[in-house]
Amino acid sequence: CIIRVAKPTLSSSGSQVITPFRKLMLCAESRKEMEDWITALKSVQKWETYEASQFNMEHFSGMHNWYACSHARPTFCNVCREALPGVTSHGLSCEVCKFKAHKRCAVRSTNNCKWTTLASIGNDIIEDEEGVSMPHQWLEGNLPVSAKCVVCDKNCGSVRRLQDWRCLWCKAIVHSSCKEQMGKVCPLGQYRVSIIPPTALNSIDSDGFWKATSASCSSPLLVLVNSKSGDNQGVKFLRKFKQLLNPAQVFDLMNGGPELGLRLFQKFVTFRILVCGGDGSVGWVLSELDKLNLHKQCQLGVLPLGTGNDLARVLGWGGLCDDDAQLLQILEKLERCKADADFLQLKEPFSVFQVHITQYADSVASHLAKILDSDKHSDVISSAKYTFKHLQLKVHFHGNATPRQRAVACINVGL
């Protein structure tokens, strides 16, 4: 959370702000304990508008976002390079870049989390006659057991020391001795269609919001997650999406709502939205789209979390997705989608973006509206038959589907 530090003054207000903001790191043994801390802090805090400048400092600061975690295999501190104990009470991990640190070392770590903007890349930026390009962003050590070098195809990493490197963007793994043989420009990896490269965020509008350069992105993905959905399971999805994409394009709906993300993406000619939450989250996002008049340039998909997902079931997005391991498969499907330049209608039959949000003629939502609003008896009967038939098929499927089929349903829309 963000706090301001003040000192006493002789003015009537009684205090004067002496710092723009401070980040308070809370460590708790459980999510419930963390929520209790946050509730206690909010109870003594006066309500303030979440200004764009305050949001930018938090979202684009480059600071690590720590959480306490345990480790099932030997893991080493990226600050002091010594081993981390397996117990949760001593080790911290950054939820975005997986930088590891002892609690005593975290304060000495540099603010070198995953890049978000051109400014965050700093002197590492690559400049030539064609413009600017992004290099690899390397993090040392703590590699998976099966890691292999992309240069020599030999095993990488060590369980005895901090060794070898992993790119936070393209996920390439290399030996220290092979790193110089890698190309200097990072290709962004298999999810490059969905990623906003940090080089695309290079200036701030007069209203305080970052302005994205659309030329370097054809149809990026905006991820809006309700962190409290599914008994706070949304937190896991937030972390995973930040690891796979640019953290700047992943937003918590509980921290500023959908407007912040939509304002960032409004400069793009076309973009896609993935809402991770329940029916209320989807409705919230759709309302903001109407307010900003962005419905003609984007497409919407839903990753249903929690139990309130009747809309997602009816429209074919599935009933529940509670496993963040499925995100890799979901993003792979999105990367294979091909967009039609005229109608922005994605062609893959089972894409989560199969339903364009501006076309409701054949959707259940359209027929429900006719039932409620139409004065023609024939229209009401026709729409009711369509709706009941659609619901009957859904109930039949979910009643006979295996647990695996129900899980797959959250990403396969055409069931």
Q: What is the pLDDT of residue 296?
A: 82
CA 342 to chain centre: 28
In a domain, 411, yes or no: yes
Residues 235 and 383 in one domain: yes
78 and 205 assigned to the same domain: no
Which H/E stretch holds residue 133? strand 131-133
Taking every pair of C-alpha atoms in the chain, what is the biggest distance, in angstroms?
76
Residue 61 confidence (pLDDT): 66
Same domain as 377, residue 252: yes
Indicate whether 262 and 384 sit together in one domain.
Answer: yes
Q: Quick one: 353 and 229 in the same domain?
A: yes
Q: How far apart are CA 236 and CA 240, in angstroms?
A: 6
Instruction: Indicate the Cα dihedral angle 312, 317, 323, 329, nearest 10°.
Output: -160
**What CATH number does the domain containing 30 carry?**
3.30.60.20
- 272 and 402 both lie in a single domain: yes
Predicted confidence at residue 331, as pLDDT, reads 84
Is residue 24 assigned to a domain?
A: yes
One domain, residues 268 and 412:
yes
Is 236 in the same domain as 381? Answer: yes
Q: Are strands 210-212 and 6-8 parallel, antiparallel or unpaired?
A: unpaired
Of 112, 137, 166, the position where a domain reaches its end is 112
Q: Please give the full DSSP string across 355-407, using - where no structure is assigned.
A: S-TT--TTSHHHHHHHHHH---HHHHHHHHHHHHHHHHHHHHHHHH--HHHHH
Q: What is the pTM of this model?
A: 0.70
Handedness of CA 279, 281, 284, 289 (dihedral sign): negative
Distance CA 357, CA 344 (A): 10
Residues 203 and 106 in one domain: no
Let me know: does 283 contact 275? Beta carbons within 8 Å. Answer: no
Cβ contact 360:216 at 8 Å? no
Task: List the one residue out of 193, 268, 273 whose CA is nearest residue 225.
Answer: 273
The last residue of a domain, from among 112, 128, 148 = 112
Assigned domain for 413 exists = yes
d(CA 237, CA 231): 12
Q: Does any domain span residue 151?
A: no
Tell me: do 85 and 200 sit in the same domain.
Answer: no
Range of the domain at 86: 20-49+66-112
CA proximity to 209, closest of 361, 334, 53: 53
**In this structure, are residues 346 and 263 in contact, taking their beta carbons and an 8 Å threshold?**
no
Compute CA distances 55 → 50, 257, 261, 359, whole Å: 7, 12, 11, 34
For the chain (415 residues), the mean pLDDT of every run of 10, in chain order, is 44 42 62 69 53 54 83 90 77 92 89 90 86 93 92 92 95 94 92 90 75 75 89 85 94 89 86 89 90 86 79 69 76 64 32 39 63 76 74 58 44 37
Q: How many domains does the chain have?
A: 2
* Separation of alpha carbons 200 and 175, rounded Å: 30
d(CA 300, CA 312): 12
